[in-house]
């Protein structure tokens, strides 16, 4: 049997996705190796999800500067009011943006539950909903009467926007890790109850460690599906399927294979 000391991150991933019967072998890994695997998995999910969304959008519009100067309508914020050539409504990665200077004001009623991050612009104000800060913000333009802002000014701010996007992605990465571990915790609890009913109790820490690997296949499939824009992977049905599959993979990993007679 392969020594657990020599099991690489790639081998851990291969076992997690294709060999649930070998999950018990992963329980002998040192905690720091499991932690590194979890951190790298979160990075992969972030790259396949939010980062891929942003990159795809940037390519589709010919680059950020081309988007600001040629794809966005000409706009100007002056004397505390915003004017645009025409209204826009689009998604930038996971961010929903709409702007219409024909509307006098926007507020929380303009937010849509299907989006976690939104920015709405009107003639006189803007409203922001962000999952990173977990709050909504409304800003009136009449406090900026001495300011003037156009497409060119926005293009000049792109380096700062890149930096802010990087910081935001770090928060997204942390959120993905926390969500992943929460799902693992729930599945571990269900498996722990199952093992107790079988009179085969097992340390919860070991069960939780196994759940980290059992969750991998559904997490990767779901992330790729979301990036591809398949609506099925946003629904409650997929969430339940993900839990059931992870649960079943763990049961397979904990069940001793009966020898052939």
Edge-first strand listing for the sheet containing 88-92: 88-92, 95-99, 117-121, 125-130, 135-140
Q: 131-180, pLDDT tens digit by residue?
A: 766 678 889 998 888 888 999 999 999 999 999 989 989 988 999 999 99
User: Per-residue confidence of the chain (261 residues) as pLDDT tens digits?
Assistant: 444 557 899 999 999 999 999 998 899 899 999 999 999 999 999 999 989 988 888 898 899 999 999 988 999 999 999 999 999 998 876 688 999 999 999 988 888 887 778 999 999 999 998 876 667 888 999 888 888 899 999 999 999 999 998 998 998 899 999 999 999 999 999 999 988 888 888 889 999 999 999 999 999 999 999 888 787 887 788 889 999 999 999 999 887 655 554
Backbone φ and ψ of 130, nearest 5° = -130, 135
Instruction: Measure the CA–CA gap between 39 and 17, rounded to whole angstroms.
Output: 17
Helix %, strand %, coil % for the chain, to 5? 60, 15, 25
**H helix intervals, the chain:** 9-18, 23-26, 31-46, 52-60, 64-66, 151-156, 158-197, 204-214, 216-227, 236-254
Question: Tokens at residue 196, please?
Answer: 């107790």
Measure Cα distances from 58 to 37, 73, 93, 96, 224 in Å. Answer: 30, 17, 9, 15, 18
Q: 23-35, pLDDT tens digit by residue?
A: 988 998 999 999 9
């Amino acid at each position: 049997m392969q020594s657990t000391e020599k099991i690489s991150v790639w081998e851990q991933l291969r076992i997690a996705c294709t060999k649930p019967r070998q999950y018990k072998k992963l329980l002998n890994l040192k905690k720091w190796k499991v932690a590194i695997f979890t951190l790298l998995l979160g990075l992969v999910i972030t790259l396949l999800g939010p980062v891929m969304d942003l990159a795809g959008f940037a390519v589709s519009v010919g680059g950020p500067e081309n988007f600001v100067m040629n794809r966005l309508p000409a706009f100007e914020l002056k004397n505390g009011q915003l004017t645009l050539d025409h209204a826009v409504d689009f998604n930038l990665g996971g961010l929903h943006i709409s702007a219409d200077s024909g509307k006098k004001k926007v507020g929380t009623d303009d937010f849509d539950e299907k989006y976690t991050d939104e920015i709405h612009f009107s003639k006189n104000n803007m409203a922001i909903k962000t999952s990173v800060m977990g709050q909504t913000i409304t800003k009136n333009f009449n406090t900026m009467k001495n300011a003037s802002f156009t497409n060119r000014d926005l293009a000049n701010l792109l380096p700062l926007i890149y930096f802010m996007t990087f910081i935001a992605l770090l928060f997204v990465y942390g959120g993905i890790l926390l969500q992943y571990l929460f799902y693992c915790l729930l599945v571990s609890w269900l498996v722990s109850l199952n093992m107790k009913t079988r009179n085969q109790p097992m340390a919860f820490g070991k069960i939780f460690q196994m759940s980290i690997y059992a969750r991998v296949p559904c997490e990767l499939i779901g992330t790729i599906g979301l990036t591809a824009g398949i609506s099925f992977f946003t629904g409650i049905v997929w969430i339940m399927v993900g839990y059931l599959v992870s649960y079943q993979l763990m049961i397979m990993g904990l069940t001793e294979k009966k020898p052939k007679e």
